[in-house]
Amino acid sequence: MKTVKLLYLATLSLYLLACTEKQENQAQYPAPVVYDYRDEKNQDAYSRYRRANKVDWGYLNSDEIRKTLGKQTIPDGIHGKFYIHKIEARHQRILDTFTSKEEVINYYTSKFSDKPCKENNVQGLVCLESKTVYNYFYLPNINTNLSKRTNFPSFLFACDRGGDFNCSTTKIASPLPYNISVRIHFNHPSYIFPILDYIDQHFYNTLGVYLWQPLPNKQ
């Protein structure tokens, strides 16, 4: 009987200890808050954009870009798709450490097998080529802004060699306080600037703010 009582007390002690630990764990680790862009409490740029636009992507084509920008000089043949992402500030401005075109070339040619492009260069971009892709770098601190309207952040993208280029960018960040980045798939490196202009205007039409333009916002 004494043995049974001891076992009972030991079991009860373990149960109470487990309950105490559970309470402590609950106190130390509160349930995570589930993010939902549809919640009106979330007034960050990404949440407001998703509530207004419903989807986190859009198609690209020459006619829509001409119409949105009011520019008949936009070339034919542009097509692609862009994707909108929610980001944190620590992921922004990944290339701002470079201070010259030569520094970019020296770094990437020493680390990889890339060489300066012999063809398919684009004005305002640093181009390096490997056996399979063309890599393009835009650095605002060393390049003249071709857009005339927009202050783009640093970014890079790669295009397949030959045929339809099949270009893809890294996530192009917006400056603070906007927590948005854009990833783009498109079909020729020379189209990147009108595409970025179009996306910037798309955000203005949707949110009343430009991601990359220091212009007055809509009231």
189, 168 contact by CB (below 8 A): no
pLDDT per position as a tens digit, 87-114: 876 655 555 677 788 888 898 888 888 9
Give pLDDT, residue 10: 46
Q: Any idea which of 37-51, 100-114, 205-219 has the lowest mean pLDDT?
A: 205-219
DSSP 8-state symbol, 142: T
Within 8 A by CB and 6+ apart from 219, the residues are none
pLDDT per position as a tens digit, 50-99: 999 989 999 999 999 999 999 999 999 999 999 999 987 665 555 567 77
- The Cα–Cα gap between 16 and 149 comes to 67
- The Cα–Cα gap between 173 and 154 comes to 8
The arithmetic mean of pLDDT across residues 169-198, rounded, is 91
Boundaries of every domain in the chain: 54-207
Q: Show the beta-strand stretches assigned E in 65-197.
A: 79-86, 115-116, 126-129, 133-138, 155-160, 167-169, 172-173, 180-186
Q: pLDDT band at 165, cuts 50/70/90?
A: confident
> Residue 213 is which amino acid?
Q
Give pLDDT, residue 49: 94
Between the CA atoms of 174, 100, 162 and 189, what dihedral angle is there, to the nearest 10 degrees? 40
Say how many C-beta atoms besides its own lie within 10 A of residue 65's C-beta. 21
Give pLDDT, residue 97: 72
Q: pLDDT band at 20, cuts 50/70/90?
A: very low
Chain mean position to CA 212: 13
The answer, yes or no, to whether residue 144 has pLDDT greater than 80, is no
Backbone angles phi, psi at 215, to 5 degrees: -110, 160
Give pLDDT, residue 18: 47
